[in-house]
Amino acid sequence: DIDMTQSPSSLSASVGDRVTITCRASQTISSYLNWYQQKPGKAPKLLIYGASSLQSGVPSRFSGSGSGTDFTLTISSLQPEDFATYYCQQSYSTPRTFGQGTKVEIK
């Protein structure tokens, strides 16, 4: 199985801050990396697919980068509705695996 490791596990930030979350795969996954946002009691929502492609309807303040084993999700200017938990997920091989999540909290 491909292990996905996110860092940090949690962070505190203020509205307007630039936030960066990293995800590392235990082996190369090319660009087969997705990012999801999950709010309490809700299903995850796809933000980024293929490492850097913005899912339709997702605000442009979200961006993704990376390839191989190291990936980044960036929120350019944190908004109140962005406080949530973020997960990376690889689709390079089965079993599909997720990172452990990064909780973004209000400072």
Partner 1 sequence: QVQLQESGPGLVKPSETLSLTCTVSGGSISHTSYYWAWIRQPPGKGLEWIGSVHYTGTTYHNPSLKSRVTISVDTSKIQFTLHLSSVTAADTAVYYCARDSAQGSIAARSFDYWGQGTRVSVSS
DSSP for residue 68: T
Q: Which of 45, 63, 69, 103 binds partner 1 (CB under 8 A)?
A: 45
In angstroms, how far is the first alpha carbon of the chain from the final one?
Answer: 36
In the complex with partner 1, the residue whose CB is nearer, 17 or 24, is 24
Q: Is 32 in the site for partner 1 (CB under 8 A)?
A: yes
Q: Tell me which residue of 82, 81, 76, 46 sits closest to 61, measured CA to CA.
A: 76
Contacts with partner 1 by CB under 8 A lie at 1, 30-32, 34, 36, 42-46, 49-51, 53, 55, 87, 89, 91, 94-101
